[in-house]
Amino acid sequence: MKSSVIVFPGSNCDRDIAVALDKFNIKNQMVWHDETDLPKSDLVVLPGGFSFGDYLRTGCIASKSKIIKSVIDHASKGGLLLGICNGFQILIETSLLPGALLRNKKLKFISKNVYLKVTNSNNIFCLGYKKKDIIKFPIAHNEGNYFAKNDIIKNLEDKNLIAFKYCDNKGVINIHSNPNGSSNNIAGILNKNKNVLGLMPHPERAIDPLLSSIDGSIMFKSLIQ
């Protein structure tokens, strides 16, 4: 499997994801945002960070950069596209995924490990998980409060396009296990064809026992299955 990680000024998880991809033998190339063509890739990753200093809105300026047209083409042809944290914010700004990511409800940057429930394991990113699995990933964001109109949320629920929801260590999904105020505790969503996944938590920072969780490994193993 071949991958490309798009690097923007202000990306800071690009190397973390590169290390993770390398660990699972995915042949990766870093691609600067100013390029227009993508190298041949099965998977494109938009990494976490603070692209363009979060100017205007998080992910907004990055979503207008030169490479994005090729990224959208890649996704529309069925190529895999993963947006983590700021990458999720960029996916939202490109309209590849619906909704918006607002500032965390309590207006604080949150950096901690959280528990997630896998709510859709029937997609290539999550094949290795079982539905309702409880996993632990770190989050580190200021704008992760997922918001969309009621009909969009209903559509995500009805069509089973929510991949992960915030929960507690027993799997309870409620206001107390919701770190940032996201509608329906949403932590990650898929597009209609399930080839685009955007999530706020960081699977690439949960691939080694030294990093306090290895639950992210399963996502990368799923991709190379």
Which residues are known to be catalytic? 85, 202, 204
Q: Which stretch binds other proteins (CB under 8 A): 54-62, 131-139, 207-215, 217-225?
A: 54-62
In the three-class reduction of DSSP (H, G, I as helix; E, B as strand; rest coil), residue 216 is classed as: coil
> What three-state secondary structure class fits 165?
strand
> Out of 72, 103, 121, 140, which residue is the one contacting other proteins (CB under 8 A)?
103
Considering only residues 155 through 184, tell me which ones interact with other proteins, judged by CB under 8 A. 181
Element (H, E) at 27: strand 27-32
Which residues, at least 6 apart from 183, have a Cβ–Cβ distance to it below 8 Å? 146, 147, 148, 153
Nearer to other proteins, 40 or 151 (CB): 151
Of 133, 112, 128, 126, nearest to 212 (Cα)? 112
* 3-class state of residue 142 by DSSP: coil
Nearest to 137 by CA among 86, 85, 99, 91: 85
Counting runs of H as helices and runs of E as strands, what totals does the chain give?
5, 11
Scanning 101-109, 128-136, 163-171, 201-209 for contacts with other proteins by CB under 8 A, the matching segment is 101-109
Residue 99 binding other proteins, by CB under 8 A:
yes
Residue 210 binds to other proteins (criterion: CB under 8 A): no
Is residue 72 within the footprint of other proteins (CB under 8 A)? no
Q: Does 96 bind other proteins (CB under 8 A)?
A: no
Instruction: For residue 105, state whether it binds other proteins (rule: CB under 8 A).
Output: yes
Q: Which residue, chain included where needed, has tokens 């990680």?
A: 5
Of the pair 103, 136, the CB lying nearest other proteins is at 103
**Binder to other proteins among 10, 39, 57, 79 (CB under 8 A)?**
57
- Cα angle: 185, vertex 190, 196; to 5 degrees: 140
- Is 69 one of the binding residues for other proteins (CB under 8 A)? no
Footprint of other proteins (CB under 8 A): 56-57, 60, 64, 93, 98-100, 102-103, 105-107, 147-149, 181
